[in-house]
Each structure stands twice: as structure tokens, then as C-alpha cells.
Amino acid sequence: MTEKQTVKARYFGNRAFYKTALTVALPIMAQNFITNLVSMLDNLMVGALGTEQMSGVSIVNQLVFIFNLAIFGAMSGVGIFTAQYYGKEDQEGIRHTLRFKLILALSISALALGIMLSLHDPLINMFLHSSTDGGDLALTLSYGKDYLYVIVWGLLPFALTQVLASSMRETGNTFTPMAAGFGAVAVNCLFNYLLIFGKFGFPEMGVRGAALATVLSRFCELITLIVYLIVRRSRFPYLHGAFKSLYVPGERVGAFLRKGMPLFVNELLWSAGMSALNVAYSFHGLNAVAANSIAGTVFNLFSIACLSMGVAIGIIAGRLLGANKHEEAVDSVRKLIVFSMFLSLIVMALMIFGGTAVTALYKTSPESKALAAYFIRVDGLIMPLIAFANAAYFTLRSGGKTMVTFLFDSVFMWAVSVPVAFALTLLFRLEIHTVFAIVASLDFLKCIVGYLMLKNKVWVRTIV
């Protein structure tokens, strides 16, 4: 075998390999694409109401984002075991993970609901600061509260949906959650139009209409999954007797907590850290808040391929590790990371050259649109860094290295990114363009750490 052939065999798979990988990744990508496309349409429709409305909704969605990531972390932490139990064909083990996920989802939802309804004013005011760019802060607060009072009722159905959808993905069914997600976003998109602007006899509710449309879509997605699982329950042997009780053996609770809770805490702290970064950016005024909302929505849409590949890498690696196929897991991860990096270059070009065209669709102030276009170009330039760090994160997680991913992700956020953002803003008084670019470039440090951990194969182990 020539050196060229050796390199190709080491870093690139055959057609069957990519077909298997894309069978996992494409449904996740498709669901995330539709979800984020509708999120952008939602953002556009709210933005048409005005900068204050868009900023108020954006701020509350920062709080919802923390809840969503907390749920995601809780489900993913336990999901490490689900994927490996599935590889081991242990149906009772999957049943226990499902019950524990339900307990976590109910607990987190109750806590989040209480916090948001009792502390809404101080939470929203963290993002509101006087600046020279104008903007009515009191009006922004009012719109934010209007949106929050409705959106909180979608927290529980979202959490319960993630209990079911995550378990289905981890046990090989990625299509059904995708289909349910498609239906939900269609409902969201339709009722956004009807309720925000009062079309076809529906009341004109503005930001409250946007929130109500989201809540309706959450219930739609949950009901769709429940109905499907009832009708097709024979296809899911782990569902038989799964909810007759919430009993989970003590030794497994201990294992779930040891390996899973660091992931939950990680996602909670990371999402809170992202919100803290946005607080730092908000010191530059409402235009920065609106621009960050636009850029974040566009980033979520464009980065789907790279970020979804990370999720797929974690699922594929978890199954192989659960089946004790360690060498195959290492080989698959290496090839999938290369594939993810290739995708990131395509996404980088699209964001750099297409960002301004997307921001032109918004009806916010020219200043916020220009700033958003700049944010998008910066995000595009660092997309390869984001893709590699994301792939490394999910790979490490697949082998149960949750404490390592905790240090890699949220500790880095709070120890490096957040202090740098506040220092550059409040101490050095740098303008927003410089602050954003410097903070974004810090992902290079995460890539170095991730590369070293992958090279040392610290993640290669079976934990069930």
C-alpha cells in the first residue's frame, strides 16, 4: 500500500462508512435546519415590530436557552448510558435511563418555572444598559415580560419531548423525532404569522403571539411523539413497563449521577456563560443586543451541519464503545472529524459571503444590521475551530469523560471567555467589534486541548 493510499484509508472512509454516518447525522441535521429556519423566520417577524420588541424577546430567549441547555445536558448525561445499553442490547438498562430522564425533566422544569416567574425583572434588567445608541429600555423590559409570561408554559412540554426524543435517537430511531420536529416548526411558523400580526381573524398579539406560537408547537411535538410510541410500541421493547413506576436501582442512580451530572452542570454553566457574554455585549447598547440576536440566529442556521456531526459522532462512538469495538470507534471518530472539518470550510465560505444578504432581510435599525453582518463574518472565520472543538467535546463525552468535558467547556467559558469579555468591555473600554472578535478567537485554545485529549485516547472505554 502506497503512502497516499495509507493516508486515504486512515482519514477517509468508503461509501458504506459515510452512508452509515449520514443515516445518523442527516435526520438530526434536517430537524435542526427546520427548527432554526423557523427560528430565523420568528426572529424576522418579531424584528419587524421594532428594535425594542426584538431585544426584549431576545433577552428572554437567553433565559429559555439556559433552560433548554440544562435539559439537553441532563438528557445527554444519562444518554451516554442509553447508547451503550443499546449497543449491549440491555433493554432493562434503557428502561432505567428513561425513568431517570423523566425525573430530571420534571424537576428542572419546576425549578425553572419558579425562577422565571418570580425573578423576571432582575433577570431581564441584567441585559439593559444605557448607551449612546438610544433605545427605550423601559419599553424593552415591558416587551420582554409580555413574552416571558407566555413562553414559560412551553418549558414542561419541551422537557418531556426531550426525554422521549433523546432516547429514540440513542436507540437508533432518528427519523421520528425529526418528523415530529418538522410538524412542530410548521405549527410555530404558521401561528407566528397569524398571532404576531393578527391575520385571518386572529388577534394581533405582537410578542405575546410569538410566544404562544412557540408554546403550541411544543405541545404539538410532544403529542406527536406520544401517539407514535403508543401506536408503534412493539418496535420499542424498552417501553414495555417503562412507566409502571419510577424505580431505578440505587447503583445505577449513582452511576448516572457520577457520569451524567457533570454534563448537566456543564450545559447549565455553559449556557449561563453564553448569557453572561451577551450581558457583556449589552453594555454597548440595544443595537448590540439586537445584532447579537440576529447573528446568533443566523449562526445557528448555518452551523447545523458541523454541530449536528458532533452529535452524530457521539452517538456512533457510544454504540461502538458499548459493543467493545474500541479500535473501530477510534477509526470512525478520526474519519468523521475530518468530514466535519470539510463541512466547516463550506459553512465558513457561506457565512463570510452570505451574511450581509441575510441581515438585509431584517427591519431593524441600520446600525444593528451592520453590526450583525460583522458578527456573522467573524463567526464564519472561526467555524473550523468551532467544528473541531464540538467534535472533540462529543467524542470525549461518548466514553464517559464527563468531568473532562466539564473542564473543557463550561470551566473554560467562565475562567477565560467571560472574564475576557467583561475586562475588554468595562476595563479597557474597547468597542464591540474588537471585543467580539477577540472573544470568538479564544476557541483556538479549546481546539489545542481537545486535540491533545483525542490523541491520548482518554475517551476510549466501555462504561456499561
Query: Does a structural domain hold residue 461?
Result: no
Q: How big is the CA angle at 298 (ends 162 and 296), to the nearest 5 degrees?
A: 70
450 assigned to some structural domain: yes
Range of the domain at 338: 13-455
Distance CA 215, CA 221 (A): 10
Q: What total of structural domains would you count in the chain?
A: 1
Alpha carbon of residue 128 to chain centroid: 25
Residue 40: its pLDDT value, please?
Answer: 76
Tell me if 75 is assigned to some domain: yes
In a domain, 462, yes or no: no
Cα separations in angstroms, 388 against 309, 440, 444: 10, 14, 10
Look up residue 331 and give its three cell numbers.
477509526
pLDDT surpasses 80 at 415: yes
Q: For 38-57, give one letter per residue: b (16+ CB within 10 A) or e.
A: bbbbbbbbbbebbbbbbbbb
Residue 56 scores a pLDDT above 80:
yes
What pLDDT is stored for residue 134 in this prediction?
60
Q: Does residue 418 lie within any of the structural domains?
A: yes
Would 268 be classed as within a structural domain?
A: yes
The residue written with cell numbers 435599525 in the block is 365
Is residue 312 included in any domain, yes or no?
A: yes
Q: Which of 22, 314, 37 is nearest to 175 (CA)?
A: 22
User: Which of 208-233 are b and which e, b meaning 16 or more Cβ less than 10 Å from the residue's Cβ?
Assistant: bbbbbbbbbbbbbbbebbeebbeeee
Is the pLDDT higher at 345 or at 93?
345
Choice between 70 and 132, residue whose per-residue pLDDT is larger: 70
Report phi then psi at 324, rounded to 5: 60, 30
- Pair 158, 68: CB distance under 8 Å: yes
Does residue 3 fall inside a structural domain?
A: no
Indicate if the pLDDT at residue 229 is higher than 70: yes
How many Å apart are CA 18 and CA 22, to the nearest integer?
6
Total-model pTM: 0.80
